[in-house]
Amino acid sequence: MSFLHDYVYYIGAFGLVAIGLLIILVKRNLIKLIIGLSILDTGVNMFLISVGYINRGTAPIFSRPGLEPDGMVDPVPQALVLTAIVIGVAILALALALAVRFYKSYGTLDLRKAKELRW
Amino acid sequence: MRATVGLILLAVIGVGVGISLLAIPFGAPKTEIGDYYIENAREDTGATNVVTSVVVGYRAFDTLGEVTVLFVAALGLGAVLATAGGKRGRSGVEPASLILSAGNIFLFPLILLFGAYIFTHGHLTPGGGFQGGAVIASAFLLVYLSSPGKRINESGATLTESVSGLVFVAIGLLGLTYGTHYFLANFLPKGTLNTLFSAGIIPVIYCAIGLKVGSELAGVVDNLMEETE
């Protein structure tokens, strides 16, 4: 029980990563691939945030004068994730644009039906 | 076949990750640099939000790189979707309902104001340029959803984006001349903690990032909403 309590965030984060990876490996519809990429991205962000968590920690913001530096969570992973989310949105938009072009030239979103892409 | 290979691969990755994660206990302090930032960020940068002082203070050069990544992604999206005949209108789109179009009139300025609040107070409260920029872009998305005929002023968006990007780089270069003589040095006075005009260059850079991200994401929305045949 305490194992689950200690690792529930890691398990959740890597559960998302695993789901995203499985979608990318198995599915052949481009939109589903992009959804998988987005889920994978979310899982990685969640993992970074949970690595930075400190038990009973507060947000690293000195919004009131009385706050002490002890017991604040690690700000570095939060700073990394902050930008990673925006980059993730940009990557998502770029992938969707490529999917639009793919649909225009092949008339389908299914990777199997695009003959020239067989490997 | 594909699914089996995928599941085997996932199992291998899962076992590897699980073994390495057992060595990282959840909820324990891990990095010394994090403690250093929490202890010294207020004196070093003057910002009360330690995450902000990491993003635009200690690691500002890294943030410049990330802004560049976002810019390249937006540029690539425009290049990928560009058509030979120029941009089409969005005439075929069904008009939005009365609730959406009437709500947009009231909500659009308020969302813009909220986005500006988030990026001007990035050094004091949770938030900052990236989040404020995303909020501003969502206001433009609402316009696109509610009134099919309207489009953003594209040259205005490009101008805002270029000027704010230049402001970021120019502030960094000014840091070479004034203050402690390194790129993106905090050469402005730090002011009193927990006031709006504090933390030197951090609010200025965050305003530039907010405008840049907002106009870039609005341009992305514009490109994706474009009517296709």
CATH number at residue A93: 1.10.287.3510
Q: For helices B202-225 and B154-177, what crossing angle results, to 10°? A: 150
Q: Which candidate in B19, B40, B77, B228 is best for mutational testing of the A interface (most A CBs within 10 A)?
A: B77
pLDDT for res B226: 73
Q: Which of residues 39-78 of B touch A (CB under 8 A)?
A: 39, 41-42, 48-51, 54-55, 59, 63, 66, 69-70, 73-74, 76-77
Q: Concatenate the DSSP letters of all residues of B196-226 into one string.
A: SS-STTHHHHHHHHHHHHHHHHHHHHHHHHS
A95 domain residue, yes or no: yes
Tell me the ipTM for this assembly. Answer: 0.78
Q: Find which of A14, A31, A61, A64 to mutate to test the B interface (most B CBs within 10 Å of its CB).
A: A61
Q: Which of A4, A10, A37, A74 would you mutate first to test chain B, the one with the most B CBs within 10 A?
A: A74
In one letter, which amino acid is B48? T
pLDDT of residue B91: 58
| pTM attached to this predicted model | 0.83
The predicted structure's pLDDT at residue A34:
93
What are the helix and strand counts (H, E) for chain B? Answer: 8, 0
> What is the tally of structural domains in chain A?
1
Question: Residue B66 and residue B127: Cα distance in Å, rounded?
Answer: 17
Per-residue pLDDT of chain B in tens (229 residues, 90 and over written 9): 778 888 898 889 888 888 888 777 777 777 778 888 888 877 777 788 888 888 888 888 888 888 888 888 888 888 888 765 555 555 566 777 888 888 888 999 999 999 999 988 888 888 888 889 889 989 988 888 887 777 777 788 888 888 988 888 888 888 888 777 777 777 777 777 777 777 778 888 888 999 998 998 888 888 887 755 4
Q: Which residues of B touch A63 (CB under 8 A)?
A: 48, 124-125, 194
| Tokens at A43, concatenated | 């899982």
Query: Which pLDDT belongs to residue B229?
Result: 45
Query: Residue A119: inside a domain, yes or no?
Result: no
Only one residue has tokens 């050469």, namely: B187
Residue A6, in any domain of the structure: yes
Low-confidence ranges of chain A (pLDDT < 70): 1-3, 115-119
Q: What is the pLDDT of residue A74?
A: 84
Under 8 Å CB-to-CB from A17, ≥6 apart: which residues? A40, A43, A44, A47
Spell A21-57 as b/e; 16+ CB within 10 A means b: bbbbbbbeebeebbbbbbbbbbbbbbbbbbbbbbeee
Per-residue confidence (pLDDT) for residue B39, from 0 to 100: 81
A11: how many CB neighbours lie within 10 A of its CB?
15
Question: pLDDT for B70-89, tens place per residue?
Answer: 888 888 888 888 765 555 55
Q: CB-based burial of residue B91 (10 Å sphere; 0-12 exposed, 13-18 middle, 19+ buried)? A: exposed
Q: How far apart are CA B38 and CA B56, in angstroms?
A: 15
Q: Tell me, what's the pLDDT at B32? A: 79
Answer yes or no: are the C-beta atoms of B175 and B184 closer than 8 Å: yes
Nearest Cα residue to A78 out of B81, B220, B49: B49
Does A65 reach chain B within 8 Å, measured CB to CB?
yes
CA angle centred on B124, ends B51 and B109, rounded to 5°: 110
- What's the domain range around A81? 2-54+75-113
Structure tokens at B52: 């902000």
Domain boundaries, chain B: 2-228
CB contact B37 to A (< 8 Å) = yes
Q: What is the pLDDT of residue A72?
A: 81
Place of tokens 């207020």: B42
In whole angstroms, what is the distance from residue A112 CA to residue A27 CA?
10
Minimal C-alpha gap between B177 and chain A (Å): 28
| DSSP 8-state symbol, A72 | B
